Each structure stands twice: as structure tokens, then as C-alpha cells.
Amino acid sequence: MAAPSDLDSLRERLREMDDLQAAASLLHWDQNTYLPRRGAASRGRHLATLERLLHERRVDPELRRTLERLERRSPELGELERDLLRVVSRDVERAARYPASFMVTITEHAAASFEAWGRAREEADFALMAPLLERTVELSRQYASFFPEADHLADPLIDDADEGMSVAALRPLFAHLRAALLPLVEAAIAERGEAGSQPALPLASVQEAAQMRVALRLASALGYDLDGGRQDLALHPFAIRIAQGDVRITTRVDPTDLAEALFSTLHEAGHAMYEQGLSAELNGTSLASGVSAGIHESQSRLWENLVGRSRGFWRYALPIVQRTFPELGHLDEEAAHRSVNQVRRSLVRTEADELTYNLHVIIRFDLELELLEGRLAVTDLPEAWRERYQRDLGVAPQDHLEGVLQDVHWFSGFVGGAFQGYTLGNVLSAQFFEAARSAIGDLDEQFAAGTFAPLHAWLREHVYAYGRRLPPAELVERATGRALSVEPYLSYLRDKYAPNLAREAASK
Ligand code: ZN
């Protein structure tokens, strides 16, 4: 019988690719934490080489033949093997669309662009980036050309990050969300007042190590396993799986505001807990990773916002925070809760509150579609950005740093495919949370007692353990009993930020 040996050979190939991927991930992690600036160019080359080796293995004709033989025998295979076959075939099919040289070009270009972006930010100089961004748009359009069946130039990039999603599905979803958010922001500010730009959890002096320590302690209370993880400083926080037993997070510290370190840590720990919760049987295969950008972000946002900004969490966390930072002793539970849930129409996405956050994302999503479609020139981007911020948030950037240069995404990869996941994640965070609550009861009381294990266990069973075994839409359906919907998210936001509006809506 040929099937077992083909399976063995498949698993061996995947294991080797997983090892190469682990090496690339470690280089990425280092690039974004400790790499000296002058090492950037050669690091770009190292990553491009690994990317090429991975690509060669993915499109190896022998792998394809193995997959075809296994495909014919798929009735003999177990469920796990069939899921693996589906996912590897999808990866192989997509990788075979473009030549390895294209991947090298985009990886090297991305490294150069990322490096230039650092300099451009120092001088808030968009002109420095414009030619590089024009090239990125060109390369992104070229990528789309490898998928001629796509309805929209952004679809292949979106489908890479969020399988099954498309511009046609996202446009109406985001339009609906935006239309609901604009009046909700108005109502919340009318009810609660608009916050100033003062720190949420103000500190008088720089206490970087102490901030990181308390943030990590709380992340570990939620369930982030420190024996299989670590925390470092980074300008742009991220979580990264190197391998099983090695899922790292990075944290950004604001010397004057503990909220930055705290929430960036809880956010990245949410991503990391997803990766730590993958079923061990997926290890070393293409199934051993989060399934999509949106599902990933749903977990970071769930832990950061639905848990970390809840009343119950603050009943538990405030005494811990105050033991390290006695200067926050003036806050009681209600004041702390209010302080970390302020609403403000602001300019910077990563600093935006829960309520206005998706407006920032939708602006970027719309603008990147216009860039790809050729309806917006790169040189006109700053002005389009300013207009849209004025229209949706009532504020306009004073310089490019708080405008178009703020996000790393367009300057370190493709234009397209990177932003929709944030909003999908926010939407799904509430949908998963609602399903978990109806299964395990009053979560707020559990949080107040420092009990996070039941929620963690529910998420592990219904989301994390699967890795990539189920396509995102199917995972959502199975876990929550319904298809993706913005309603749980909107009702969560209404209840929290505009209870008067929520009561009106309920009485209609
Ligand atoms: Zn995230």
C-alpha cells in the first residue's frame, strides 16, 4: 500500500519546510527587536534566501505528485490527513502561480522600503517614500495578475490573509459597520464626553522594566505560557511563533502611560495564546498556525478589549497594578475602568480606542483599493488621507507621521490584504465572546476573581486547537453557531459606550 509512505514523505517535507520557516521567523523577530540598523540590508537578503528555499520546496514537482497520489487515496485517509491535504494543496496551488524570482523581488523590495520608512519617519518625510510606495503598488498589482480569475486586484492578497474573503464581501460589511459606528461615536461622546490626549494610566517617571513586568504578569494570568514564550521591547509590537514551545511577544512602552505597555502586551499575548493552543498533533505541518488574519486578530482583541477593558478584569488587576505603581493609588475600580475606555477622535490607529478603531481601518482599506485600482495616485495619497480623516473622524493630521506614514504595512510588504483582518478580528472577537459566555456563564464575575481558565479552555477547544484545519468561515460557524455577523459586535459596543442609544434601539 502506497499511501502510508506517501504520507510519511509528505510529513517529512512539511517538517523541513517548517524548520526553514522557523529560521525565517527567528530572523524576523530579531529584525524587529535587536538588529543593528546597518544589518538591515543583509538581513533582507537572508530572508529572501529562506523565502526562495521555501518557495522551491512548495512548488517542487515531486511534492505535487505526492499530493496527487494522496488525493486519489483520500477516502483511506483519516480526517486530520484529509484536512492537511486540503491545506497543503491550497498552499502549493497558490505558490505555483508566481515564479520564485517574484518572491525574491518583493522580499528585497519590502526590506529596502521598511528600512527607508524608518528614516522617513524621523523626518516625517513622505516624499522619500513615494517612489518606493509606487513600486509597491506596482508589485501588488503584478501579484494580482498571477490570479487572473480574481474579481478585484486586492482579492488574491485578501484571500491569502483571510481565506474566503473578497472585496465584494468586505465592502458592504465595512460600509454597514461604518454607517453604524459614525452615530455611535457621536452618541458615546455626547453621553460620556470626549477624552483629551492625557494618559489613561499616568506615570510620573520612566519605569520600563516594571511596566513590562506587571504587563507580563497579567498576560500570564490570562493564560500566556511563559515557559513557552518570552517578552521583548519593540517599536511596533507583534507576536510570533518560532516553533512549538516558542511563541514570543513584544511590547511597546510609553514612559508616561502604563496603558501602552499593558494593552499592547495583552493584545500580543492573545495572539500568542492562540498559537500556544494549537493541538500538538498539528506540529511540524502546514496546519500548525492560526488560520487567518481575522481569526488571529479576534483573539488578540478578545483578550485585550473584551477581557482587559472589562469591569471585572479591573476589579482583579487594579490592586496588582497599584502594588507595583503606588502612584496609581488614587484610582478606584470605576475610575480605572473609565480611564481605559475613553473615547476620542484621534489620528493614530494603534492608539485609537475600541469605538473609533475600525474607522481608521476602513479608511485604509478604502484608500488601498483606490491605489490598486489606479483611481488614486501615490502622490495624492496624503491629501486623500487628510480628507477622509476630516470626514470620518473630524480631525486632520498636522504632519505625515501622524498621517500616512504611521502604519508599517504599506511600507513593508504589499498594498492590500493587510488591513481588513483588524476589523474582521474586532467583529469576530465579540461573536466568539458571546458564544463563550452563553456556554460558560457570567464571565465578568470570573474575571473579577482572577479566573480566566474557563474562557481560555473554551477558546482552546473551539478555536485554537484546530489550527488551519477548518477554513475561517467554517470555524466561525462551528464555534458560534452562526456565520460572521457584525451584530454581536455592535450590540457589545452600544451596551458599553452608548447605553441610552442601546435602550432606544431595544425599545423599537
Ligand atoms: Zn494584532
Q: What is the pLDDT of residue 499?
A: 86
Instruction: Please determine, for residue 502, whether its predicted confidence score (pLDDT) is greater than 80.
Output: no
For the segment(s) 167-195+273-507, the CATH number from 3.30.565.10, 1.10.1370.30, 3.60.21.10, 1.10.940.10 is 1.10.1370.30
CA of 349 to the centre of ligand 1 (A): 12
**CA pair distance 108, 119, nearest whole angstrom:** 17
Q: What is the pLDDT of residue 192?
A: 85
Q: How is residue 257 annotated by DSSP? A: B
Q: What is the pLDDT of residue 395?
A: 96
**CA pair distance 253, 215, nearest whole angstrom:** 10
Cell representation of residue 384: 486623500
Do residues 468 and 287 touch, judged by C-beta distance below 8 A?
Answer: yes
CA of 141 to the centre of ligand 1 (A): 26
Q: What is the pLDDT of residue 4?
A: 59
CA 411, chain centre distance (Å): 17
Task: Place 1 in a pLDDT band, splitting at 50, 70 and 90.
Answer: very low
What mean pLDDT is predicted for residues 347-370? 96
CA of 396 to the centre of ligand 1 (A): 25
Catalytic residue chosen out of the listed positions 51, 81, 163, 268: 268
Q: What is the pLDDT of residue 113?
A: 95
Task: Place 107 in a pLDDT band, splitting at 50, 70 and 90.
Answer: confident
Largest CA distance in the chain: 72
CA separation, residue 177 to residues 169, 305, 358, 484 (Å): 13, 18, 8, 13
**CA pair distance 7, 67, nearest whole angstrom:** 9
Q: What is the pLDDT of residue 205?
A: 84
Instruction: Please determine, for residue 269, whether its predicted confidence score (pLDDT) is greater than 70.
Output: yes
Cell representation of residue 128: 522619500
Q: pLDDT exceeding 90 applies to what percent of the chain?
A: 89
What mean pLDDT is predicted for residues 271-295? 97
| All residues with CB under 5 Å from ion ligand 1 | 297, 300
**CA pair distance 212, 223, nearest whole angstrom:** 17
- pLDDT tens digit string along 10-56? 999 999 999 999 999 999 999 999 999 899 889 988 988 998 899 89
Do residues 489 and 431 touch, judged by C-beta distance below 8 A?
Answer: yes
Q: What is the pLDDT of residue 191?
A: 87
CA of 304 to the centre of ligand 1 (A): 10
Task: Place 81 in a pLDDT band, splitting at 50, 70 and 90.
Answer: very high
CA of 78 to the centre of ligand 1 (A): 33
Q: What is the pLDDT of residue 44?
A: 83
Tell me the pLDDT of the chain averaged across its residues: 95
Is 268 designated active site? yes
What DSSP assignment string belongs to 388-442? HHHHHHS---SSSTTTTTS-SGGGSS-SSSSSHHHHHHHHHHHHHHHHHHHHH--
Domains of the chain by residue range? 4-128, 167-195+273-507
- pLDDT tens digit string along 317-333? 999 999 999 999 999 99
CA of 217 to the centre of ligand 1 (A): 19
**CA pair distance 281, 469, nearest whole angstrom:** 11
- pLDDT tens digit string along 411-439? 999 999 999 999 999 999 999 999 999 99
**Range of lowest pLDDT (146-150, 199-203, 215-219, 418-422):** 199-203
CA of 49 to the centre of ligand 1 (A): 27
User: What residues form DSSP beta bridges with 247?
Assistant: 241
Instruction: Please determine, for residue 3, whether its predicted confidence score (pLDDT) is greater than 60.
Output: no
What mean pLDDT is predicted for residues 206-214? 94
**CA pair distance 357, 188, nearest whole angstrom:** 14
CA of 61 to the centre of ligand 1 (A): 36
CA of 350 to the centre of ligand 1 (A): 10
CA of 223 to the centre of ligand 1 (A): 17
**CA pair distance 222, 252, nearest whole angstrom:** 19
Backbone angles phi, psi at 202, to 5 degrees: -70, 135
- pLDDT tens digit string along 123-135? 999 999 999 999 9
Q: What is the pLDDT of residue 508?
A: 60
Instruction: Please determine, for residue 301, whether its predicted confidence score (pLDDT) is greater than 50.
Output: yes
**Range of lowest pLDDT (39-53, 215-229, 445-459, 461-475):** 39-53
Task: Place 350 in a pLDDT band, splitting at 50, 70 and 90.
Answer: confident
- pLDDT tens digit string along 391-403? 999 999 999 999 9
Q: What is the pLDDT of residue 479?
A: 98
Cell representation of residue 405: 506614514
**CA pair distance 264, 272, nearest whole angstrom:** 12
Which positions ≥6 away from 56 have C-beta within 8 Å?
A: 100
Q: What is the pLDDT of residue 251?
A: 96
What mean pLDDT is predicted for residues 370-387? 98
